Amino acid sequence: MKQYKYLIFSVFTLMVCSMNVACSGGGEDDPTEEPNNQVIPITLTTPTITEVTHQSAVLTSKMSGNMQVLKKGFCYSSTNKGPMINDFTAEVTTAGNDLQTSLTDLKAGTTYYVRAYATVSETNTYYSTVTSFVTGTNTSENKDLASYVAPTYADDYTSIADWSKRSQWNLANVHDPTVVLADDGYYYMYQTDASYGNAHEKGGHFHGRRSKDLVNWEYLGGTMKSLPDWVIPKLNEIRKAMGLPEVNPNKNSFGYWAPCVRKVKTGLYRMYYSIVCPGYIDNNKTSWSERAFIGMMENSDPANNDGWVDKGYVITNASDKQLNFYVKPDNWGNCYFKWNAIDPSYIITPEGKHWLIYGSWHSGFPAIELNAETGKPMMDLPNPWGNNNDIAPYGKLVATRKMGDRWQASEGPEVVYNPATGYYYLFVAYDALDVPYNTRVVRSKNVDGPYVGIDGTDVTNTGGDMYPIVTHPYKFSKGYGWVGISHCCVFDDGKGNWYYASQARFPANVGGNPYSNAIMMGHVRSIRWTEDGWPLVMPERYGAVPQIAITEEELVGNWEHIDLGYSYGNQKTSSVMTLGADHKITAGTWKGSSWSFDASKQILTANGVQLYVQRETDWEANPRKHTIVYVGLNKQKTYWGKKSN
């Protein structure tokens, strides 16, 4: 009778094992008697799990049978509840039937599924039954998160907007910021002269502040005390050459816009800045508006806010229309100037070349090479008018939104190089700055182009809209949300961590304040880079949250999901998306799709979109606290999300 049972069992075992599914004989607690000279199938006991910590565990199992084993050990997974040898494996190489090994580098607070295996041929592997265990929590890491204190300063800073309250501003009254990490470990931020109620007018120009942690900022004051002495004489020098009379504008009527600061080397920092001249080229007739200038200052130590020394004129607007400047001021598509000398972006390439990319609206953005020693243009600049060949030294086109149309609705170029990807990135501000402002990015292997978007659009040679979208007006379920989020700077800490900073505005009529759209708070956000080298800006502002690895279990639940697809002048609002424990999306736009998580890369894949997850501050919570956010993109869409708490 026992032999009859064995024959049935053997046939069943051979059938199952030939299909490469788990085979375990009768198991240790139910041994099966076998006739002499028969090959006994491999049996493996369910693994015993001991010495579990937040990142390790010890596994033991016992093997029996007299088949020749090629490999043996344990297979395990945090996502596959039936792990196989194509998942993670820990091979046991010691002789004998006792299997034991230690798993290391596990994720804290994570469920792992494990079973023992023994391979007897290329096609046959025996498995034990599956068991599971949960790694412990990292006490020190949890302590860091538990003790995290979120920033408490108010976003609505109207009560402290006055100049007399400037010591309390932190990131209040920030517009068009530029940031540099200095030798003393401080990040220094400078900006356009713009503030709620024009509070900055009492303190000079190109105001500065500094921070050690990118969260708490100390206000420093203006870096330029008054209009540089060279500006009006240079303006009249050009006007005289154009056959125009001299002018003597009120010094308080000039505009001070969009500086760009960079560290050149130890003990040398340069700040390029824009000065916009008031009035029109001919104030007595209908003509185009007057020109702008880009100048430059240097400082050996930005901690000395009064140490900025003006180095004078760099470049001005150039026209390809000879002296035909009698163009109506509202004829934007055919304006007089080809290049607009504002919004400088200064970059030093890995080869030591110095470049200036500048401009806004008009024909797009030109690039000129600079003399490394002086910071001034490498080529001598002729009169800033003529035909295209005459004004070639004023720069070559690197990006345009509309080829042949000077109504660009784009400005604020920011060019940076990421050595990890080998690309130069051109970030651009799009549309009107009050509400619609949004940020785009394109990239190139060369500092002067061609720059190409994620969708393949060559914005240097053919022009076109730039993708991907980096920021866009948005609103989560709580709070007022933000609009006018652009004109950015992008910088790193030298340790592989990148950041995006810009201003952002309240929507109109917040809290009954008809001027709420003039509230401009500085936003600093962390950047992640996709595996194919595109920057992703986090949906919540940087708040120095400890970056403890996120576990799969933490992702289950409700999220506030925002589709940042372009919509002119509209705040994109969030909707609920629910990630189920069964790896299905059970609510939201992507309902019915599946999701998975790569803990090693901290990437959540939902509906086929890779979403990069990170811990950030929940600025809308009351009180504020840490949460988990995600950002991902495809060719023309960016997605933001925040875990609901």
Q: What is the DSSP string of 610-632?
A: EEEEEEEEETTSSS-EEEEEEEE
Cα 161 from Cα 153, distance rounded (Å)? 13
What do you get for the CA distance between the two ends of the chain, in Å? 63
Q: What is the pLDDT at residue 38?
A: 65
| Residue 10 predicted with pLDDT over 80 | no
Where in the sequence of the chain do the CATH 2.60.40.10 domains occur?
Answer: 2-137
| Residue 554 predicted with pLDDT over 70 | yes
What does the pLDDT average to over 339-364?
97
Pair of tokens at residue 126? 């025996």
| Residue 16 predicted with pLDDT over 60 | no
Cα 291 from Cα 475, distance rounded (Å)? 38
| Residue 30 predicted with pLDDT over 70 | no
Pair of tokens at residue 202? 């009492």
| Residue 506 predicted with pLDDT over 90 | yes
The pLDDT tens digits of the residues spanning 68-114 come to 999 999 999 998 999 999 999 999 988 899 999 989 888 888 899 99
Alpha carbon distances (Å) from 47 to 58, 126, 132, 488: 10, 14, 9, 55
8 A C-beta contact, residue 195 and residue 173: yes
8 A C-beta contact, residue 22 and residue 126: yes
| Residue 37 predicted with pLDDT over 80 | no
Strand partners, 102: 58
| Residue 357 predicted with pLDDT over 60 | yes
| Residue 139 predicted with pLDDT over 50 | yes
What does the pLDDT average to over 560-564?
97
Let me know how long the chain is.
Answer: 645
Answer left, alpha or beta for residue 564, where phi above 0 means left and psi between -120 and 50 means alpha. Answer: alpha
Alpha carbon distances (Å) from 373 to 24, 343, 353, 545: 76, 22, 11, 41
The pLDDT tens digits of the residues spanning 172-207 come to 999 999 999 999 999 999 999 999 999 988 899 999
Q: What is the DSSP string of 407-435?
A: ---EEEEEEEEETTTTEEEEEEEES-TTT
Q: Which of 486, 357, 506 is nearest to 430 (CA)?
A: 486
For residue 428, report the phi and psi dihedrals to the nearest 5 degrees: -135, 140
Cα 630 from Cα 577, distance rounded (Å)? 12
Cα 272 from Cα 347, distance rounded (Å)? 11
Task: List CB contacts of 253: < 8 A, sequence separation 6 or more.
Answer: 278, 279
Instruction: Enter the CATH code of domain 171-471.
Output: 2.115.10.20
Q: What is the pLDDT at residue 432?
A: 96
- 148, burial (CB in 10 Å: exposed 0-12, middle 13-18, buried 19+): middle
Q: What is the DSSP string of 25-49?
A: TT-TTS-----TTPPPPPEEPPPEE
Map 175-197 to HEC letters. Answer: CCCEEEECCCCCEEEECCCCCHH
The pLDDT tens digits of the residues spanning 594-604 come to 999 999 999 99
| Residue 329 predicted with pLDDT over 80 | yes
Where in the sequence of the chain do the CATH 2.115.10.20 domains occur?
Answer: 171-471
Q: Which of 489, 481, 482, 480 is nearest to 524 (CA)?
A: 489
Q: Looking at the structure, give the CATH architecture of the domain made up of residues 2-137.
A: Sandwich (2.60)
Q: What is the pLDDT at residue 66?
A: 85
The pLDDT tens digits of the residues spanning 415-431 come to 999 999 999 999 999 99
| Residue 265 predicted with pLDDT over 90 | yes
